[in-house]
Structure 1
Amino acid sequence: MPTWTDQIDHLRLIRTEGVGPVTYRRLLDRYHTPAAALAALPRLARAGGRSAPPTIPSGSEAAAELERTYAIGARMVFLADPDYPHLLALLDDAPPCLIMKGDAGLAGLRCIAAVGGRNASANGQRMAETLAADLAASMVVVSGLARGVDTSAHRGAMRTGRTIAVIAGGIDQPYPPENAELHRRIGETDLLVTEAAFGTEPQGRHFPRRNRIIAGLSLGVVVVEAALRSGSLITAQIAQETGREVFAVPGSPLDPRARGGNDLIRQGAILVETAADVLDNLPAEPGPPQPRTRRFGEPDPTFPAPPAGAEPPPEARRQVLSLLSPEPTMVDDLVRHCHLTPAVTMAVLLELELAGRVETLAGSRVALLPDAIE
């Protein structure tokens, strides 16, 4: 467990403008401690072309967030902590900090996600509740506490076992309002999880980030009634990309609420009619891509960090920028085409992201932000 000072430093780095989950990892790979990374941020952002330094929360602001979190019975679990959920840590963009309220040990058990539409039919909600109740007898059921299928999944799981609710807003912000009582109950008897700061009101852009936590905690994702291009399909896609199993309950082709699930089955998802269809096809561990072979904080031999005092030459920044576009580019492709060493390329990308000119994405990809296009 980090000391109080370490927690404050980690939280300041996590909440710094322009520091996302991937950049957080890279900063600690290079500077080893959050205090050293914080000290380097203004220089890195300036080198990347930013005129003003990024906004960094003060120590008192970070301490206040910690105090508010602990005051309501929640806690913060950081990526380097030994009790950080193992499966979630395998994601390239795993949240640097989770805020948990309830039984944090549930996140380390075998979990299955059950997700679906907010406007689910009565049959869809009944299926979700029955399926979750049957699955919860032997696993922990994870969902997103949204209206419809999510709510039914949590209620079913709590009848026979345990559940985890991953929310998009702050740990103190029940959403939707009608689930305030369910939010309270899960936080007392099971587990609430979020990466959002205390007091954050959920907004649309927060939900895809929540979805990756749902998928990341789980060995597989079961989709019950999802329209095409729905958030549930984002969760299923993340699960597939990270080696988790994808399941779907079939529905009537006449109901648009079932088209997303039916399409998943068409693409190879396992058809589910009962909990046995899930349990009989659930792996013990995620499949390919393979889990990380290095621990968080250890240097990456593929893209070694340059010495902390080393500065990439200006022409290296121009070369990297010329090869980027708003379409995501694989970092190894960038290294191959820019004829720079991996260490210099990664240093340039770190500077450019802190300057707000590029965005680092999961899967070792990077994209030019629209405002950075000249």
Structure 2
Amino acid sequence: MICLETQHFNLNRTLLLAIGLWPYQKSKLVRLQIILFFGILISFVTVQFTALITKKCTVNFIIKVFSTMIFFSVYVIMYNMFWINSHRVRNLLEQLQYICNELKDENEFNIIKKCGNNTKFCTLTCTVFAICSTFLVILQPIWPEILGIVLDINKSRIQSQAIHITTEYFVDQKKYFYLILLHINTVICIGATTLTATGTMLLGCAIHACGLFKIASYRMEQIMKIKMLKNVNLKDRTMIYNKKIFYAVQIHRKTIKFCEFLSSTFKGSFFLLVIITVISLSLNIYGIFQSISLGDKEEFLLHLLLASIILLYMFVVNYVGQEITNHNNYVYFTAYNSRWYNAPLQAQKLILFVLLKGSRTYYLNIGGMIVASLECFATLIKTSMSYFTVIYSMEDYLPIYVKLGSL
């Protein structure tokens, strides 16, 4: 028997525990931790929004603020998504554990164990990448102090390198520079952990769903490989065929149900994330071109980093959705290519049911509006580029609109 929590999702469990989002054992201290972390994330989005109220708003300034504010809103949505759906995340893991408890032979256990190894590898890779990226971002403004003996850089230079994100704290930012820097670094650490923990948890569930589809295909292949049935009477042959087909259909249906529960659990949050990531990608691409034209290297690196993270996240989500579709289609192809005509008549009818069911391609739905696939990824990129093109082409006219709106 495989315990998914301790054997396959142990690293995911550690990451979620670090930010208080593990759906089990919710103590008062954990609830306080959740409120504190969520408040820190909300506060950082708020101080970016207040900059629009207190400072003079030009078109470039508005786009600059929104390009970062919308990106950090993703942290808030992802954190809130797992917070309010903690009971559903627990049900998701329990469903997966229940299905794995019904595995039949060693080959099926090996398939699901391989999924667990892939989950741990992907989680470890994403965690190492997140730690390295966060470490470099946090150390970037204090490198001049660390290397002050070698690099003759004064404090004002350090401060100019540190804060690239427009904020308004209603205090003297030079005087409280290190407190503001602490707030920003805390948000980056919590946000990076949130994206890694929640993203890898969903990725792990999707990897296991692909493994369950593999098991359904494996069971379908084994139906027509039973040689000892030649010496068995027709009634017993029919019972054995029906039983094995039932096991194959059963795990396939449970896997479909698991995938549907996964997508429906976060339906509203996925819908917001799709909209926000498309808008954020468009604004950050515009920011990249704008910073190139102005020769601002720091702004260029900031927008490039944010756009790269969004692109990577969008690609992984849609690639996983495409893999789920491909593995589901393989169940249909396995049933279609098997020697179903050698089976008893009643068993042939059951296989025909599988063929009819599998003739309709299954897609992982995201937010109730799109399906996760590589085609969807291309569509989202195309949409983001279209919005960027509109903004860039209207660059000369936008200041006029802003002036007319302020009259």
Bin of the TM-score, shorter chain as denominator length = under 0.3
Q: Could you say which structure has the greater relative contact order, defined with CA pairs below 8 angstroms and 6 or more residues apart?
A: 2
Larger Rg computed on CA atoms: 2
TM-score (norm 2): 0.23
Give the number of the structure whose residues are more often strand, by fraction: 1
Give the number of the structure whose residues are more often helix, by fraction: 2
TM-score (norm 1): 0.25
